[in-house]
A and B are shown apart, each in its own frame.
Chain A
Amino acid sequence: MSDNAYEAITEAHDDARWAFGTGFEDPLAGVDTSLPDSVDGDDLAAYCLMLGDDALVMSHRLQQWCTSLPELEEEVAVANIALDLLGQARLLLTRGGTADGSGRGEDRLAFFREEHEYRNVRLAELVNGDFAELVARLVVFSTWRLALLSRLSESRDPVLSAVAAKGVKEVTYHRDYAARWTVRLGDGTDHSRGRMQAGLAVVWPYVDELFAAHEVELRLSAAGVAPDPSALRDEFDNVLAQVLSAATLSKPEAGQLPGVGGRAGRDGVHTEAMGYLLAEMQSVARAHPEATW
């Protein structure tokens, strides 16, 4: 082998090994982005932002865990999940920007929308707690999202269908990872059992919101583009019951967090944590609005 630092590195374009979401400039390059018949572009765009924002905001909270996890294996795994969700967000935001005819790209949507324009569920934006809370949030989020994406892969919109089919493979792993840790912590030591149960109690008040249907979701459901969120509840309850049983944990008895005047994340009404999250995420992009990165 050569000692020259560059000659020794022979493969100049071995981009295949990069994680999904890093190797492209235009997330939807080469994809037919025309709208299916009788689908409202604004509704489709709003829906793409809902699912895209869920992924982007959840990914942000996972990114914040980087270098703070209990083991190196967890550093690799959590970064991997954050990358998957970021990749999903990029595809969905880009689809949103084409569907409404605004031509806004993924970065325009991520960095230059105001808080009230973000459509994510409030579960995604919760401030990070301990590792048990991370696991609790992830098992709830990924169980719900897997139920959603597996139905969305049947969507009449070919772009959503393709994004969902890819996402199903990823989120299957996310759910498995989180479920295994739920069981390890629940059925580990007395101390870890207490903390896991407490972690579930923190995220549980945000569960009902996941299944509350927004009018956009109902219209798209009727048009065969998206599942009705309330139809995902049985699968969610069944899976969580299995996981909690294996983990020797009980389902929290927590009440549900109300919205403001009946409005919550899907309507752009968030928790106080959201402003800080966006301030962090958008700070550099907004300080240099004319810049290219």
Chain B
Amino acid sequence: MTATLPEQDLERHFEHVIERDQRIEPRDWMPDGYRKTLIRQVAQHAHSEIIGMQPEANWITRAPSLRRKAILLAKVQDEAGHGLYLYSAAETLGADRTDLTEKLIESRQKYSSIFNYPTLTFADVGVIGWLVDGAAICNQVPLCRSSYGPYARGMVRICKEESFHQRQGYELLMTMTRGTDAQRRMVQNATDRWWWPSLMMFGPPDDASPNTAQSMAWKVKRHTNDELRQRFVDMTAPQAEALGVTLPDPDLRWNAERGHFDFGEIDWAEFKRVVSGHGPCNAQRLAQRRRAHEDGAWVREAAAAHAAKHHSRDHWRSPT
């Protein structure tokens, strides 16, 4: 039993597991810092899925074809599902979903800043799939090898679903760019608005990212922010060309020597503003989440009261 070992042996065992690229499981001993870092990372990811439903849900009722409506609704539903299993992964670390939700709506925990930008046209739905889900995939695929087992396994499923979303988004844009002039303008306009915020999704540059070194040593993070950002640009630039849209960066060009695309300077002042709560939709997104949670309090209380009255006994069965 590991529980009877002295702390230094437990720590040695933990480090050994990490070194050998094996997985830490919920009942394993782990350092407090590791647990806290993971709870923060998984909770932020869960919050991002839930807040991220809002900008896309904004277009469900107005989707201009029934097929696109169904695809968008299924995507937003997937995000609710992702949030659910990420909160469950956080609970295996001893966190509590209700508590994490409180922290979100009280702004004590963050979510991805990308969702603090507005969705202004139906083309935004496609561009979010292409760029935002594309960036999310670059960030998340390495997390399938996270040292924490439940998170790594959850990420495998999430990444598969994200890849559908990205393909669906790109396919919508392909259809739109083959359509009318107005549709092509709409796609270009949405690309102009989402490109730079998508690059910011990888977080601050490596020399300004305080948590990266420890997270990489613990193998809860596998690549630096700048490595992932470069990978995303390299992947996306040819896709933009195939679509016939221009990425809004005059410095973007292929660098044969580096074997990568060069790109322009990100506006880190804007990034800091949005992260610190002053983007175009921060207040709106949080207010919506808070409203849903508070308006639902009486429903959750009723469900708890009903369960307490009837224990696990089923009080109503479907008539046959």
**Residues of A bordering B, CB below 8 Å:** 1, 3-6, 8-9, 11, 14, 17-19, 21-22, 24-25, 56, 60, 63-64, 66-76, 79-80, 82-83, 86-87, 89-90, 93, 106-107, 110-111, 130-131, 172, 175-176, 179-180, 183-185, 187-189, 191-192, 195, 238-239, 242-243, 246-247, 280-281, 283-285, 288, 290-293
Question: Of A18, A66, A74, A131, which contacts B57 at CB under 8 A?
Answer: A66
22 example contacts (A-B, Cβ-Cβ < 8 A) are as follows: A1-B141, A3-B223, A5-B141, A18-B71, A19-B74, A22-B70, A63-B69, A66-B53, A66-B57, A66-B73, A67-B57, A76-B80, A83-B77, A90-B70, A107-B65, A184-B302, A187-B309, A191-B298, A238-B319, A280-B61, A291-B180, A292-B175
Cβ of B142: which chain A residues have Cβ within 8 Å of it?
3
* Separation of A165 and B316 alpha carbons in the complex (Å): 25
* Separation of A63 and B56 alpha carbons in the complex (Å): 12
Most buried by A among B67, B160, B296, B302: B302
Task: Specify the chain B residue showing the minimal Cβ separation from A193.
Answer: B302
Cβ of B180: which chain A residues have Cβ within 8 Å of it?
288, 290-291
Would you give the shortest CB distance from A20 to chain B, in whole angstroms? 8
Given contacts A63-B61, A69-B292, A86-B73, contact A293 B172 (CB under 8 A): yes
Contact between A107 and B288, CB atoms less than 8 A apart: no
* Separation of A4 and B142 alpha carbons in the complex (Å): 8
Cβ of B65: which chain A residues have Cβ within 8 Å of it?
107, 111, 285, 293
Contact between B62 and A22, CB atoms less than 8 A apart: no
Contact between B318 and A63, CB atoms less than 8 A apart: no
Task: Specify the chain A residue showing the minimal Cβ separation from B161.
Answer: A17
Contact between A179 and B318, CB atoms less than 8 A apart: yes
Instruction: Known A-B contacts: A8-B159, A63-B61. Give 15 more (CB < 8 A).
Output: A5-B141, A8-B144, A17-B164, A68-B291, A72-B87, A74-B296, A79-B73, A83-B70, A86-B70, A188-B302, A188-B306, A189-B298, A189-B305, A288-B182, A290-B179
Contact between B175 and A21, CB atoms less than 8 A apart: no
Contact between A72 and B84, CB atoms less than 8 A apart: yes
Contact between B295 and A70, CB atoms less than 8 A apart: yes
Contact between A75 and B77, CB atoms less than 8 A apart: yes
B247 in the interface (beta carbon within 8 A)? no
Contact between B87 and A246, CB atoms less than 8 A apart: no
* Separation of A247 and B310 alpha carbons in the complex (Å): 12
On chain B, the number of residues with a Cβ less than 8 Å from chain A's Cβ atoms is 72
Question: Of A22, A69, A176, which contacts B71 at CB under 8 A?
Answer: A22
Cβ of B60: which chain A residues have Cβ within 8 Å of it?
63, 66
Cβ of A68: which chain B residues have Cβ within 8 Å of it?
288, 291-292, 295
Contact between A187 and B64, CB atoms less than 8 A apart: no
Cβ of B66: which chain A residues have Cβ within 8 Å of it?
56, 86, 89-90, 93, 106-107, 110
B12 in the interface (beta carbon within 8 A)? no
Would you give the shortest CB distance from A189 to chain B, in whole angstroms? 5
Task: Specify the chain B residue showing the minimal Cβ separation from A73.
Answer: B84
**Residues of B bordering A, CB below 8 Å:** 50, 53-54, 57, 60-71, 73-74, 76-77, 80-81, 83-84, 87, 122, 134, 137-138, 141-142, 144-145, 159-161, 163-164, 172, 175-176, 178-180, 182-183, 222-223, 231, 235, 288-289, 291-293, 295-303, 305-306, 309-310, 315-316, 318-319
Would you give the shortest CB distance from B11 to chain A, in whole angstroms? 28
Would you give the shortest CB distance from A142 to chain B, in whole angstroms? 11
Question: Of A11, A72, A90, which contacts B160 at CB under 8 A?
Answer: A11
Cβ of A11: which chain B residues have Cβ within 8 Å of it?
160
Contact between B179 and A292, CB atoms less than 8 A apart: yes
Cβ of B161: which chain A residues have Cβ within 8 Å of it?
17
* Separation of A70 and B288 alpha carbons in the complex (Å): 12
Would you give the shortest CB distance from B312 to chain A, in whole angstroms? 14
Cβ of A247: which chain B residues have Cβ within 8 Å of it?
316
Given contacts A8-B159, A76-B84, A187-B315, contact A293 B176 (CB under 8 A): yes
Cβ of B63: which chain A residues have Cβ within 8 Å of it?
284, 293
Most buried by A among B63, B291, B310: B63
